Structure 1
């Protein structure tokens, strides 16, 4: 059975679930999930988890993400991007330096109000379903962080290209909208490409056509998701058996921290936390 991670370069016009369905069909594996939704108009890095690796989805979703986004000033839409209906248009006399100055306000921790056109549920209903019925409901602000935010290029009088490194749960459409509001002329996102997610980069991404032709050989090992954590190799069958049974093990002298734990055959077993010389599993990745 296939197990591992595909770093898909998601094409425009596909939902993240469309990509998962395609991979499910190609690899003939039911257990397929993705590590962080991309809007249909967006392209770029979409980590797709296959087989046993689906246990790692939560860790990918919680990681930092990097985007390159197109900001169009002078336009406000109902979706906060250029796929939506225009609500307002305004003349634009903004300089690149003015955009840079406004970006400074958005760096660091922020409170962001999610857009109506999003999959967030309120009262059991997805916001985009309500939005399509012409309804708007109050949304609570969410805490997000913009670790890095810079202007890469001014394309025209109205169009600018931004690079953003941010926390999970961030809406780049909303960032573009909010920047436009701060500049007094309105703004919307006209393009979006994710260049990094869960520490996987665009350089590692493959197309769905690549997966169709090369299949399982493109799967990265599950432990590549945790490459920033040190390796801990269990030195006896007895310790490995205890870990496989879900029991904590005592390893005196082990520094506190999170480890990738491997068995005697160097099989990746689990992500574990060491504290006070005791190693406890955070998430297991071995089969039954």
Structure 2
């Protein structure tokens, strides 16, 4: 079984679930999960986790993301993107580039965003897009999202191409819609590409066809990021052979049971390994008790372990 993450470049026309289904056939294993839905018309970075790495799907979903989007001013649709039914068209011809730039940049920071009806969020157990397809509209609570930065790459009104750095849960379609509303001409998203999810970048992503070719050539291993490298920014520590059994069971580890002797700070997270380089899991330091507490276990049950 493969335990790792592959950085897929999702092409237009595929759903995120389609990508997982294709990979299950190509790689030949069932335990696969993606890290955040991309609309079928959207393209870009979609990290996919395999085997024990599926445990980090939620952690990767929480990471900040970067998108490149094409905003079309003057058109409002029910889906907030160009694929939807046009609800209203207004002439944006009197807008100046300065007005548009100022409006777009005003969204940098925290703002309250109302999730779109055409989204996978659930209300009373039913996805919003399912309700929308039935012609129903339900009240959605706004939620705070963080726009870390917006860079305008090209402005050729009524089109604006922009790059957006944002927190998890941000809908770029809705951002485009909200910009249009604030400019009083309406707006929708015409194109969307996700270029970054945490440490995963567009330049390193591979298509499904490329994965298929590599697997057929017996070179698939080079596509997968090892599970522990997702946390490469954290210090790596080694538990002593005599106390390794404690970490295998997820027990707290007094700092004296580690080979490394450091001045640890309260809340410090570390990657814990045994002397055979088995990745055991993420631990967090509790200064008052001078021990590390398990945060997430990743130990491979099939790995050769040191006996007590």
TM-score range, shorter chain: over 0.9
Deviation of 1:239 after TM superposition, in Å, equals: 3.0
User: Pick from 268, 272, 284: which aligns with 1:261?
Assistant: 272
* Aligned 8 A contact 1:153 1:161 in 2: yes
Task: Determine the C-alpha separation between the residues in 2 that align with 1:36 and 1:79.
Answer: 19
Structure 2 SS opposite 1:220 = strand
User: Pick from 250, 271, 285: which aligns with 2:282?
Assistant: 271
Greater shift, 264-273 or 139-148, is seen at: 264-273
TM-score (norm 2): 0.90
- Superimposed CA distance per residue, residues 198-229 of structure 1 (whole angstroms, 9 cap, x where no aligned partner): 22111221111111011332111012221222
Task: Determine the C-alpha separation between the residues in 2 that align with 1:34 and 1:96.
Answer: 39
Task: Determine the C-alpha separation between the residues in 2 that align with 1:194 and 1:232.
Answer: 34
Q: Which residue number corresponds to residue 150 of structure 2?
A: 149
- Structure number with greater Rg is 2
Q: Which residue number corresponds to residue 74 of structure 1?
A: 74
* Aligned 8 A contact 1:198 1:225 in 2: no
| 1:199 aligned onto 2:199 | yes
- Superimposed CA distance per residue, residues 137-188 of structure 1 (whole angstroms, 9 cap, x where no aligned partner): 100001111111121111x321111111111111000000000001111000
Q: Which residue number corresponds to residue 182 of structure 1?
A: 182
Instruction: Please list, as runs of the form range in 1=range in 2, the aligned pairs for 1:80-159 lying within 5 A after superposition.
Output: 80-93=80-93, 94-154=95-155, 156-159=156-159
Deviation of 1:240 after TM superposition, in Å, equals: 2.3
Deviation of 1:100 after TM superposition, in Å, equals: 1.7
TM-score (norm 1): 0.96
Q: Which residue number corresponds to residue 305 of structure 2?
A: none
Task: Determine the C-alpha separation between the residues in 1 that align with 2:198 and 2:298.
Answer: 18
Q: CA RMSD in A?
A: 1.2
Unpaired segments of 5 or more residues in structure 1? Answer: none
Unpaired segments of 5 or more residues in structure 2? Answer: 257-262, 302-308
Structure 1 SS opposite 2:225 = coil
